[in-house]
Structure formats: structure tokens, C-alpha cells
């Protein structure tokens, strides 16, 4: 198969657009960084180019690209304590493949616009997310009490209310005559340090994780 000048331009555009997204992920120290995103975008472009040449309007290759990217995206998602991390990076992998496919059909202008929009969302919306999270922050505390007295739950809910926060029980268990409770606490982020300080000094609390 002969490589034309148009093929080289298509692949270079793919590397450029993938690089723009990859640099942002690399700057944020994410697991899928510059090289990964560039290769995903370029791979999607090449597969789309091949699909057009050997299959015409056949969309089986496109469907398989989407399926394969789903597996890669799932690999960067992981659970850390009570939080799920990697969702944004997985979404970037997904959209990088989509941009690669757009480039593969030589819709360069659309690819550039999409890349710009993605960078705008990653950069601009991050600040908006920070503001929203500060106003309505959510955190899960796993608290181990020294005994299995259920009144401890009511005391903690009342304590959170005193600190202008809302607490609710997500999970409840007992071990060695000790009560272990996962509390989901919501409210303004500025009130959480005071709550944590109050929890640390409580004699009935043996351990705290959050």
C-alpha cells in the first residue's frame, strides 16, 4: 500500500490533536499521558483510514474501535478508599479516539474544533467543578467506635449538624463488639476541618478514615 502525501498530512494532524490532549493529561500527572493519548488518537485515525479503503461504508471497524477504547478506558479507572478516580482520563481517551476517527475521514476542521472544545472543558470546567465542590462538598468517613452502642450514630449526626453539615449512614457493621459506620457528610467544605477536629478528640471514637 503506497503512502501518499495526504496520508502523511492526516497522520500528522492526528498526532497534533492527540498531542494537545495528551499534554493536558501529562501536565495533570494522569496515568494516560502524552504518548498514550497520541497513540490512541493516531491508532483510531489509521484504523479509520484502512476501514475506508477496504470496506467503504462498512462501519464494523469503527464499532470495534469504540469497543477496544472502552477496554482501555476501563483500565485507567480505579477505586481509592471511598472515591472513584480516572473517570476524566477515561473520557479523554474516548474522545481522543473519536477525534482520531474524524481525522481519519479527513474532517480536519471538525477535529481542530473538537480538540479546542475538549481543552476548554478540561481547563475551564475544572475551576467550575472546584467552586461547586467547595460549596457542596461530599466526604465519607469510616468511623470505628470503642463499643457497639447505636446511640453513637445519633451523636455523630448531631455533631455534624452543629458544624452546619449533613451526615447520613451509608454502611453499618460490627466487629469485636465495636461499631463500624460509614458516614456520608455533605456541606460547605470550609466546615469539614472543624468536624474532623471534633471527631479526633471524641473518646468514644477509636479510629477515623476518610
Number of domains in the chain: 2
Given a cut of 90, whether residue 115 has pLDDT beyond it is yes
Q: What domain range includes position 151?
A: 136-209
Same domain? For 65 and 120 the reply is yes
CA 155 – CA 137 distance, rounded (Å):
21
For residue range 34-53, what is the model confidence (pLDDT) as tens digits? 898 999 999 999 988 888 87
Across all residues in the chain, what is the average pLDDT? 86
Same domain? For 123 and 186 the reply is no
Given a cut of 90, whether residue 69 has pLDDT beyond it is no
- pLDDT category of residue 209 using cuts at 50, 70 and 90: confident
CB-based contacts of 132, cutoff 8 Å, min separation 6: none
Query: 76: how many CB neighbours lie within 10 A of its CB?
Result: 20
- pLDDT category of residue 10 using cuts at 50, 70 and 90: very high
CB-based contacts of 88, cutoff 8 Å, min separation 6: 30, 122
Same domain? For 70 and 42 the reply is yes
Given a cut of 90, whether residue 26 has pLDDT beyond it is no
Same domain? For 109 and 198 the reply is no
pLDDT at position 59: 64
Which of residues 113, 133, 153 is at a domain's end?
133
Given a cut of 60, whether residue 57 has pLDDT beyond it is no
For residue range 85-97, what is the model confidence (pLDDT) as tens digits? 788 888 999 999 9
Same domain? For 124 and 144 the reply is no
Strand partners, 167: 185
Same domain? For 38 and 123 the reply is yes
pLDDT at position 9: 92
Which of residues 77, 104, 133 is at a domain's end?
133
The answer, as to whether pTM is greater than 0.85, is no
- Could you give the 3-state DSSP secondary structure of residue 207? strand
pLDDT at position 63: 73
Same domain? For 107 and 79 the reply is yes
Same domain? For 143 and 101 the reply is no
Same domain? For 21 and 99 the reply is yes
Amino acid at each position: 500500500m503506497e503512502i501518499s502525501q495526504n496520508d502523511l498530512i492526516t497522520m500528522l494532524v492526528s498526532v497534533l490533536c492527540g498531542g494537545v490532549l495528551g499534554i493536558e493529561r501529562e501536565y495533570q500527572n494522569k496515568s494516560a499521558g502524552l504518548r498514550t493519548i497520541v497513540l490512541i488518537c493516531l491508532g483510531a485515525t489509521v484504523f479509520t483510514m484502512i476501514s475506508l479503503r477496504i470496506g467503504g461504508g462498512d462501519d464494523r471497524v469503527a464499532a470495534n474501535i469504540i469497543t477496544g477504547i472502552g477496554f482501555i478506558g476501563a483500565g485507567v479507572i480505579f477505586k481509592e478508599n471511598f472515591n472513584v478516580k480516572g473517570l476524566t482520563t477515561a473520557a479523554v481517551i474516548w474522545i481522543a479516539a473519536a477525534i482520531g476517527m474524524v481525522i481519519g475521514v479527513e474532517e480536519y476542521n471538525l477535529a481542530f474544533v473538537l480538540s479546542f472544545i475538549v481543552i476548554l472543558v478540561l481547563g475551564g470546567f475544572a475551576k467550575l467543578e472546584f467552586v461547586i465542590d467547595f460549596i457542596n462538598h461530599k466526604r465519607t468517613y469510616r468511623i470505628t467506635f470503642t463499643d457497639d452502642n447505636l446511640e453513637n450514630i445519633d451523636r455523630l449526626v448531631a455533631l455534624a449538624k452543629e458544624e452546619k453539615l449533613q451526615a447520613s449512614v451509608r454502611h453499618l457493621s460490627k466487629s469485636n463488639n465495636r461499631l463500624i459506620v460509614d458516614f456520608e457528610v455533605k456541606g460547605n467544605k470550609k466546615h469539614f476541618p472543624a468536624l474532623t477536629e471534633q471527631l479526633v478528640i471524641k473518646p468514644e471514637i477509636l479510629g477515623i478514615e476518610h
